[in-house]
Structure 1
Amino acid sequence: MRRLAKTLLAALAFAAGAASAQTPKERFDPLVDAVVARYHLPGIAVGVIENGQVVYRRTAGELALGSGQPVTNDTLFKIASNSKAMTATLLARLVQQGKLRWDDPVKRWIPAFRMFDPWVTEHMQLGDLLTHRSGLGEGAGDLMLWPEPNAFTRKDIVAALAYLKPRYDFRAGYAYDNLLYVVAGEVAAAAGGAPYETLLRREVFQPLGLSRCQVGSWRRDALAPVAVPHARRDDGFVALAPADPQVHPSTMEAAGGVQCSLDDMLAWARQWLAPTADQLAWLPQAQRDKLWTPYTPMPISAQRRAWDGTRLYAYGYGWRIADVDGALTVSHTGTLSGMYSALYLLPDRRDGFVVLINGDAEDARTVLIEVLLKQFTAPDKARGVAAYANELAAKESHRHASRVPDTSARRPATRKELAGLLGIWRDPWFGEVRLCPRGDGVAFEAAKSPRLRGPVLRVGNQYLVQWEHGDAEAWLHAPTDKAGNLHMSKVDPDADFSYDFEDLAFKRVRDCD
């Protein structure tokens, strides 16, 4: 028995020694390669930090499929909602400088600020803008942010908040929103005396040496290489190449408008994991702790419990805080029009990683996050890429079969069928839309969001809009009450929450031109 125990211990020691002897390239390359192969990704950049030092960088694929231009460490990717931590950090800088307080009423800085509930208007503080506990529903008002480009302004967003009805009480629960981060950016501009974009460059990018990160207005050709987003079409991807070489500021910069390279994202991550004396002078530990304090509990999915044993999951100021296999993680992800990102930090170990993908690749990101996390938190529990990917595919197949209605019998709706709905309709926050004849059929067109347009189709006794951009189709619901409101809803109830059609209530204002 003693001999057997000694043999087992020797085997375990040998295995541990073999694992530790692996180089980072030997550990991580197979994981990245397997994810790229499984999901046929157009391009990817991955970086890993261990004990505060960058130990691994990997890029693969192209800026745009078929271009022959490779992704590099300097390639700019949209980091989407990973921008939120940068916005929160900008605000922390202004607090540190005495220009703001975390408990400042929002109205002190933006007098026009109004929420649907007057009490909430008076009591919402700066910190509330960052913690997804405002009472707004998930993704409320996001149709003013995307699809891009659109004609909504930040002033439009501030004005629209008064018309977005809450889904629950103020500070009573969690629902992810973007609009209040836009407001937070405007608070920063008011307190800092300069536009949000100027402040972010001056207070965050420049002090940290994030020389490739961009926000606001810049030219793609002057800052090449720049990754092109890709949309999924059937079994592959199609590049969504921009027509304009000039990048223009959007309404949503503070919520998700930053673009950065892999090297800059690794520098951003390192200053959280192993800050230098200069970086601690730039942002003292007290403010860093404030950003990473859990303020709003978040729901823990069955998958997260099963994969990671998570018991704590909460939102701080621009960050998500969770335990994974007993280890503390601070993280965020980003999703925006054919771009996916992830940043994970394990502060107690000074480890972390960055993932940047230029394609619609939610499952690919989920799998890659999990296999990378397990390298740090529980190598003995690690499963292969295929195991996680197959599990997600099976869940999606079941979800689609049980949740998504069959619309294959669709056909163009006629003017006669829709005679009672034809006209110009207006929602108080989204503005006007046209339901008017086009050719032999009827088309839906949003005045301020030109990509929200498409033909109206009939499916049985229902009508849907088939968007020309190909994503998140919407049902049209004719008025059924005295209010005479035209409503909409997602055909796929689980489509991206930013397509918040359910928050729209249109009233007819005039005939088609």
Structure 2
Amino acid sequence: MQSLKWILIGLATIFALFLAKEWWQSFPRVNLAPPVSVKNHQDQLDSILIQTINEHHLAGLAVGVISNSQVLYKNTLGYESLDKKDSLTSQSKIHVASISKIFLALYLSSYLQENGLNILDSIKSLSPELNSKYPEIGELSFSQILRHQSGLRDASFFSGFFRKKNTPNLQDFVWSQLPKQVNGKGDLSYNYADFNYELLGYLLEKDSGLSYDNLLNRWLSEDLDLQNSYFKGNSQEENPVVMGYRKTYIWKRLKPHPFTHQVSPYPSSGMISTLDDLIKVTTQLIRADLGMLKSNVQALEVNEKESWAGFQQIAVGPESNWMGHFGGQAGYSSLLIFDPEKEFGIVILSNTRDKGNFRIDLARKIIKILEV
């Protein structure tokens, strides 16, 4: 009995220390005052953004709404850093996580066209070496990989515990993962895996002779005129980026949860951007038939019944053809959606992990207010 008593005292002490540490390393949640009066759509949208921050314990929230190629609404609330209390702005640089995949798909479509290829061709056309060692993977089409219908899988969660602490470069990471891919059974059913996009990023590097970050960053700045969007490479210092947060386990507070790069550069999730830059791109995607991304989109639009390759079909409202992508990693949550038929799009960025599905909830409320 005496030993059990000391065991219980020890466990209680550990738990108390955990609570104290969690409190010490966290910040009070952001609590914004609701508007005094709500007179128009602008006030309504402001009100639901404030409500979203308060209810879901968000550190910051940035939202842009585009209609008929015009910015119908744009607002940012909360902070870049709860420590410094720097206000979040439409120019704040923030990790967009898996929204990065959209940009890889758009760039790849252009790259393939320039080389006389299309997304229905097999990936062996960009890497004979990969095809000689893994012919089954080499026969996969770019479309299958973009749509996560390749049979490729991500490494298991537990394998991360045994991975080296240093961030591998893209080539080393891909070749370390290829032997672990089991594609022999021909299972090409949908399975969402970041590795699909790491592989595509590597293929672009291999064929072009340039690093993925050099390829994409030049395209982002020169072709798309996105001056604050980029992929971080091995040799680059990270520019000041918005800090990510998550809710603490016990207290109603927020704890820093920074972004970590699984691989560098990081094609599937490593893009950093701003609300203003993503609004600019969403406007071009809405204008798919007329905008500067017309040829990119046409190359990805193989089947009218499916979303564009590299884009997710997202259920937001009834009878709507919403496309785009979710992003969520570490303390960051994002959503980019648009409907070309309605000429309408929404961008949502937050530096807080989404545990309550606030992104799709907020998008539906915006659509309802604006009667889209």
TM-score range, shorter chain: 0.7 to 0.9
Q: SS state of the match for residue 27, structure 1?
A: helix
- TM-score normalised according to structure 2 size: 0.77
Distance 1:114 1:184, change over 3 A: same
Cα distance in structure 1, aligned partners of 2:204 and 2:135: 23
Is it true that 1:372 corresponds to 2:366 in the alignment? Answer: yes
Cα distance in structure 2, aligned partners of 1:175 and 1:266: 29
Where does residue 8 of structure 2 map in the other structure? none
Where does residue 267 of structure 1 map in the other structure? 280
Where does residue 80 of structure 1 map in the other structure? 97
Residue among 188, 191, 195 paired with 2:204: 188
1:248-275, Cα deviation, whole Å (9 max, x unpaired): 8934621010000110010111111136
Cα distance in structure 2, aligned partners of 1:275 and 1:58: 25
Cα distance in structure 2, aligned partners of 1:36 and 1:88: 32
Asked whether the equivalents of residues 114 and 161 of structure 1 are also in contact (C-alpha less than 8 Å), the reply is: no
Distance 1:200 1:142, change over 3 A: farther
Give the AA of the match of 1:165: V
Task: Give the unaligned 5+ runs of structure 1.
Answer: 1-20, 296-311, 379-513
Give the AA of the match of 2:294: P
1:172-201, Cα deviation, whole Å (9 max, x unpaired): x11101112011111222333321111112
1:104-128, Cα deviation, whole Å (9 max, x unpaired): 4323323443799x66324212222
Is it true that 1:55 corresponds to 2:49 in the alignment? Answer: no
Count of residue correspondences: 327
Asked whether the equivalents of residues 82 and 332 of structure 1 are also in contact (C-alpha less than 8 Å), the reply is: yes
Alignment of 1:94-109 (within 5 A): 94-98=111-115, 100-109=117-126
Give the AA of the match of 2:120: D
Asked whether the equivalents of residues 130 and 138 of structure 2 are also in contact (C-alpha less than 8 Å), the reply is: no
- TM-score normalised according to structure 1 size: 0.57
Is it true that 1:250 corresponds to 2:250 in the alignment? Answer: no
Offset of 1:289 from its aligned partner? 3.0
Distance 1:75 1:122, change over 3 A: closer
Task: Give the unaligned 5+ runs of structure 2.
Answer: 1-37
Where does residue 330 of structure 1 map in the other structure? 323
Offset of 1:327 from its aligned partner? 1.4
Asked whether the equivalents of residues 186 and 196 of structure 1 are also in contact (C-alpha less than 8 Å), the reply is: yes
Alignment of 1:294-373 (within 5 A): 316-322=308-314, 324-363=317-356, 364-373=358-367
Is it true that 1:288 corresponds to 2:333 in the alignment? Answer: no
Is it true that 1:176 corresponds to 2:168 in the alignment? Answer: no
Cα distance in structure 2, aligned partners of 1:148 and 1:63: 30
Cα distance in structure 2, aligned partners of 1:292 and 1:41: 36
Distance 1:292 1:28, change over 3 A: farther
Is it true that 1:232 corresponds to 2:247 in the alignment? Answer: yes
Larger RCO (CA within 8 A; separation ≥ 6): 2
Give the AA of the match of 1:371: K
Q: SS state of the match for residue 113, structure 1?
A: helix
Distance 1:189 1:375, change over 3 A: farther
Distance 1:332 1:115, change over 3 A: farther
Asked whether the equivalents of residues 158 and 183 of structure 1 are also in contact (C-alpha less than 8 Å), the reply is: no
Is it true that 1:215 corresponds to 2:235 in the alignment? Answer: no
Distance 1:263 1:204, change over 3 A: same
Is it true that 1:133 corresponds to 2:133 in the alignment? Answer: no
Cα distance in structure 2, aligned partners of 1:145 and 1:254: 18
Offset of 1:370 from its aligned partner? 2.7
Cα distance in structure 2, aligned partners of 1:148 and 1:56: 45
Distance 1:351 1:148, change over 3 A: farther
Q: SS state of the match for residue 326, structure 2?
A: strand
1:102-154, Cα deviation, whole Å (9 max, x unpaired): 234323323443799x66324212222211111235x4457778999643332
Q: SS state of the match for residue 80, structure 2?
A: coil
Distance 1:144 1:202, change over 3 A: farther
Offset of 1:377 from its aligned partner? 6.2
Asked whether the equivalents of residues 229 and 358 of structure 1 are also in contact (C-alpha less than 8 Å), the reply is: yes
Q: SS state of the match for residue 328, structure 1?
A: coil
Q: SS state of the match for residue 54, structure 1?
A: strand
Asked whether the equivalents of residues 127 and 207 of structure 2 are also in contact (C-alpha less than 8 Å), the reply is: no
Where does residue 9 of structure 1 map in the other structure? none
Q: As a proportion of its length, which structure holds more strand?
A: 1
Where does residue 20 of structure 2 map in the other structure? none
Q: SS state of the match for residue 247, structure 2?
A: strand
Asked whether the equivalents of residues 118 and 299 of structure 2 are also in contact (C-alpha less than 8 Å), the reply is: no
Calculate the aligned-residue CA RMSD, in Å. 3.2
Cα distance in structure 1, aligned partners of 2:85 and 2:179: 49
Q: Percent identity?
A: 21
Where does residue 204 of structure 1 map in the other structure? 220
Cα distance in structure 2, aligned partners of 1:22 and 1:293: 45
